[in-house]
Amino acid sequence: MKEDNMKRLLILEDGTIFEGTAFGADIDVTGEVVFSTGMTGYQESITDQSYNGQILTFTYPLVGNYGINRDDYESIVPTCKGVIVREHARLASNWRNQLSLDEFLQRKNIPGISGIDTRALTRIIRKHGTMKATLVNPGDELKHIKDQLRATVLPTNQVAQVSTKTAYPSPGTGRSIVVVDFGLKHSILRELSKRECNLTIVPHTITAEEIIDMNPDGVMLTNGPGNPTDVPQALDMIRGIQDKFPIFGICLGHQLFAMANGATTSKMKFGHRGFNHAVREIATGRVDFTSQNHGFAVDSDSIDKTDLMVTHIEINDLSVEGVRHKYLPAFSVQFHPDAAPGPHDADYLFDEFMEMIDANKNEKGDF
């Protein structure tokens, strides 16, 4: 058990050092430092596999005040590298609370640091972009730590780290859906289960032929971590099934769907992470507040030469937030319509996916 008020250092790749108080696991870690603007939902964020390998900064000043509960996990084994907060609530008060944030991070072997100026840290990330960082306990020679940090090469196999290794079912009585797991959030499964779907969750390495043999009513491409160009085998799989089954892609699944149809992606300066991102649907002008967590985006100027059309844009930076195939029953969105945590403005997209499946079955005479 670590001592109270034990110091911990956050060292950025550019040499900036923040000194704070340690909580969570007592280990040193290195990862990409990012920030989330959500005011709540820290449990869902920490357990979101899209944060694999990243040190997660919460911009909201108080984190941990309602503890950890059994209902809000987005994965059982979180793989973010560390947690940064302004103030870590030592006392958790909520009727669902089972253990404190500190106890949770200790059990999951994730270090945390509190008592630093997260506003200043966020300004650095916004100005210079996401960068490598390390959480260490004081004691080692700082020059050695900085040199080691700069020399560290971050892994590029994040999807392989978090995707299921074997297929498994989530039985239902309705439409049959294959869910390709690139690092899925449990809330996606919850939304599909609410609609009584019969789910089969499969590894990211599944081939088009294997999906065709399963003959589903539709295919879901889930969220996940990292750079979509690091998952090239998924593009052949998507191209092999998109003229056979309706497809719905979310976040990384959206990027892969766009790339499979000829679009390109690029790394954003600091990404979109939070639950207050306004997105406009182009056809109707409808504006939804959405939950987002991504560091890459589809290049808007690459869509013109494809069979895709842009359906949604982010209001602030005009980045691509949704696309639809012009001729096939397939679409994708960059944001999280499952929204856990976050607003549920866009959960109607799951209903649109169900309607697309039914229309496709009716067209093929499967009813």
Q: Give the pLDDT confidence of 270-299 residue by residue, as tens digits.
A: 999 999 899 999 999 999 999 999 999 999
Q: Kindly tell me if the per-residue pLDDT of 180 is higher than 90.
A: yes
Confidence of residue 1 (pLDDT cuts 50, 70, 90): very low
| Tokens 């670590």 sit on residue | 2
Provide the pLDDT for residue 366: 63
Span 202-217, mean pLDDT?
98
Q: Kindly tell me if the per-residue pLDDT of 2 is higher than 80.
A: no
224 is in an annotated binding site: yes
Distance CA 126, CA 124 (A): 5
Closest CA to 157 of 66, 229, 262: 229
Q: Looking at 138-152, 304-318, 345-359, which range is the least confident one?
A: 138-152
255 is in an annotated binding site: yes
| Tokens 């799989």 sit on residue | 237
Query: Which residues have a Cβ under 8 Å from the Cβ of 44 and sit 6 or more positions away?
Result: 72, 73, 74, 185, 187, 340, 341
Distance CA 241, CA 212 (A): 7
Question: So where are the chain's domains?
Answer: 7-151, 158-364
User: Are the CB atoms for 175 and 218 separated by under 8 Å?
Assistant: yes
CATH 3.90.180.10 fits 7-151, yes or no: no
DSSP labels, 132-177: EEEEE-BTB-HHHHHHHHHH----S-HHHHHS-SS-EEE--SS-EE
Per the DSSP assignment, residues forming a β-bridge with 24 are 111
Average pLDDT over the chain reads 95
252 is in an annotated binding site: yes
Terminal-to-terminal C-alpha distance of the chain: 61
| Percent of the chain scoring above 70 in pLDDT | 98
| Percent of the chain scoring above 90 in pLDDT | 90
Distance CA 253, CA 88 (A): 34
Span 158-174, mean pLDDT?
97
Catalytic residue (choose from 72, 251, 288, 312): 251
Strands (E), the chain: 7-12, 17-24, 29-36, 54-58, 62-63, 82-84, 87-88, 111-114, 131-136, 168-170, 176-180, 198-202, 218-221, 247-250, 265-281, 287-298, 308-314, 320-325, 330-333
Write out pLDDT tens, residues 320-353.
Answer: 999 999 999 999 999 999 988 888 889 999 999 9
Confidence of residue 3 (pLDDT cuts 50, 70, 90): very low
Strand bridging mode 82-84 / 111-114 = parallel
User: Are the CB atoms for 267 and 319 separated by under 8 Å?
Assistant: no
Provide the pLDDT for residue 365: 67
Catalytic residue (choose from 72, 102, 181, 338): 338
User: Are the CB atoms for 104 and 76 separated by under 8 Å?
Assistant: no
CATH class name, domain 158-364: alpha beta
293 is in an annotated binding site: yes
Q: Does 158-364 match 7-151 at the fold level? A: no
318 is in an annotated binding site: no
Other residues' Cβ atoms within 10 Å of the Cβ of residue 218: 24
251 is catalytic: yes
Q: Kindly tell me if the per-residue pLDDT of 170 is higher than 50.
A: yes
Span 221-249, mean pLDDT?
98
31 is in an annotated binding site: no
Enter the tokens of residue 131: 């960068």
